[in-house]
Amino acid sequence: METRGEFFCISGPDKGKRLALGERSVLLGTSASCGLLSDDEDLGPERVKLKVVDGRLTFRASANARVYVDGVHTPEGSLKPGRQLRAGRSVWQFDLERQAEARRPAPRDAGGLFGQAWRFINSSIGLEHPEGLNVKEVFSQVSQKRPEADVTELFAIGTSKNTPELMEIDTNWPKPWVFFKALVLTVMVYVGFVFAFRQFENNNLLPGLIMVGASAIPITVVIFYFEMNAPRNVSLHQVIRMLLIGGVASLITSLFGFEMVGKSLNWLGASRAGIVEETGKLLALLIIVYKTKYRWTLNGLLFGGAVGAGFAAFESAGYAFRDGMDLYSFGVVDLDSILDSILVRGLLTPGGHVAWTALVGAALWKVRGDQPFTFSMLKDERFLRVFALAMALHMIWNSPFQLPYYGKYVALIAVAWMAIFGFIQDGLNQIRREQGQAAAAFRGRPREKAAAAR
C-alpha cells in the first residue's frame, strides 16, 4: 500500500498551506508550473521536488534554492515524520497521514535500570524524561564532510541580522557537528606542541602545550552547547567573553570563598570544593543573567557551560604546570607528569565543571525566563534542586571513594549528562510553547478585529 503524508507550513510567508504527498513527485516553488505554489520571495523561482518514500519525505532542491534542515543548508535529503524543513523563510513540517500513524506501532519506551535511573534523575530536578531522544541520530552528522563556509555560517549567528525570529526557530533536536571538528583541530595542535617539545626540549613551548592541552576538551564541549542552542541568539563573541571573564571571575570568587569559609569546611576534605567552587561559578553567572535578551533555558545552558569551561581550563592548566615543575629546581621538566595530568583531566572534563555549571545556568535561566533577574529567584525550588545536584556531583567527584576503572567518574558523568539532555529537551519545549502561543495570538487577531467592527 502506498504510504502517504502531509506537508504543511507552520510559519513564514507560506503559513497555512498544506499538501497531501505520496510516491509521486510534487514541485514546491513560485513558478505557476509547481504543484505547490509558494508565496515566499526568498525561495524565488527555484524548485524543490518532494515525495514520500518508505514513510519519509525525500526532497531535492535546485542549485540556488535556500533549503535548510536544522539550520544547515541541505539541498537534498530525507526527513522522518515530525521533522521540519525551511524553504526560504517558510518552515514546513512533514507528518504521515493519521491512518498510517495509527497503524504504526508505538515507540518502545526505554526500559531497564539505565532508563529508570534516567527518569529518576530528571524527575528529581523537575524535568521530563526525553522520550523522543535518539542519541545516535543527534550525532549522525559528526562524520559528514562539510565545507568551511558552513563553519563560518554557524559561527556568524547571534547578531541582529543572523538571529531567527521566534516562529523560524527549528525545535527539532539539533545535530551538532562543528564541536568534533574543533576537537580534532585542538588535539592536532596539542600533539604538535608535544612533538616539538620532545624534539627540541625548548621550555618556551611549555605554556602553549599546557594551555592548549588543558582547554581542548572544555572548548569542545562549549561548542557543543553552542550548537545545541536552538534559538541561535548568542554570538560567538559573547561565548568567548563568558568563557574568559566568567572563568577568571569564578576562580577569584572561589579563592575568596576558600579564604572566608574554607577552614570551617575542612572536615569535608577535598569535597568542600563542591560547595565553594559551585557557589563561585554561580556568582560569575550573575555577570550576564541580568540581560533579558537571553531568555531561553538553552541560553543558560550555554553560558553556564562557558563559565565552567573557563574554570576547568584554567584549573587544569594550573595542575599540569604544578605537576611538571616539581623537578624544575633541578633543571628538569617532568613532561610525563604534565601529559598524564592533561590526559586524565581532559578525558574527565565533560562530566566536570563544564557540565555542573551548565546545569546550574540552565536552571537559573529557566526560573528567570523573560523576567528581570531578582535574587529571590535563587530561592526557587526548581533552581535549588539543580544547584544541590551540581554540588553533590562535585563533592562525590572529589571524595576519596573510588571504583575500579574510574567507575565513580563514569557514573557521575552519566548522571550529569542525563540531566543535560533533559534540560535540552526542556529548552526545546519552552520554545515550542511560545511558538504555539504566538501562533494562537496571531490566529485570534482577525476575530478580535471583526468583533470590534461589530
Q: Which CATH architecture has domain 5-96?
A: Sandwich (2.60)
Residue 67 backbone phi and psi in degrees, to 5: -120, 130
Secondary structure class of 183 (helix, strand, coil): helix
What are the distances in angstroms from CA 261 to CA 143, 276, 392?
Answer: 48, 8, 18
The predicted structure's pLDDT at residue 444: 59
Secondary structure class of 367 (helix, strand, coil): helix
Angle at which helix 335-348 crosses helix 178-200, to 10 degrees, equals 170
- Cα separation, 352 vs 214, whole angstroms: 13
Secondary structure class of 289 (helix, strand, coil): coil
C-alpha grid cell, residue 75 = 539541498
The predicted structure's pLDDT at residue 1: 52
The predicted structure's pLDDT at residue 422: 95
CB contact set of 304 (below 8 Å; sequence gap of 6+): 281, 285, 357, 358, 359, 360, 361, 362, 364
The predicted structure's pLDDT at residue 315: 96
Tell me how crowded residue 320 is: count the other CB atoms within 10 A of its CB.
Answer: 25
Which sequence spans correspond to the domains of the chain? Answer: 5-96, 135-438
The predicted structure's pLDDT at residue 362: 98
- Cα separation, 285 vs 296, whole angstroms: 15
The predicted structure's pLDDT at residue 35: 72
The predicted structure's pLDDT at residue 132: 66
**Residue 370 burial (CB < 10 Å; 0-12/13-18/19+)?**
exposed
Q: What is the residue type of 324? A: G
User: Which of the 8 DSSP states describes residue 234?
Assistant: S
Chain-centroid distance of CA 149 in Å reads 21
222 CB-side CA count, 13 A: 32
Q: Residue 298's closest CA among 391, 363, 371?
A: 363
Tell me how crowded residue 397 is: count the other CB atoms within 10 A of its CB.
Answer: 22
CB 94 within 8 A of CB 79: yes
Alpha-helical runs (H) found in 325-376: 335-348, 353-368
The predicted structure's pLDDT at residue 279: 96
C-alpha grid cell, residue 132 = 523522543
User: Which of the 8 DSSP states describes residue 218?
Assistant: H
The predicted structure's pLDDT at residue 81: 85
Mean pLDDT in each 10-residue stretch from start to end of the chain (454 residues)? 76 80 81 74 77 86 81 84 85 70 44 80 88 81 86 90 87 92 97 96 93 97 97 95 96 94 87 96 92 93 98 95 70 84 95 98 95 94 97 97 93 97 94 84 55 46
The predicted structure's pLDDT at residue 106: 43
Chain-centroid distance of CA 191 in Å reads 27
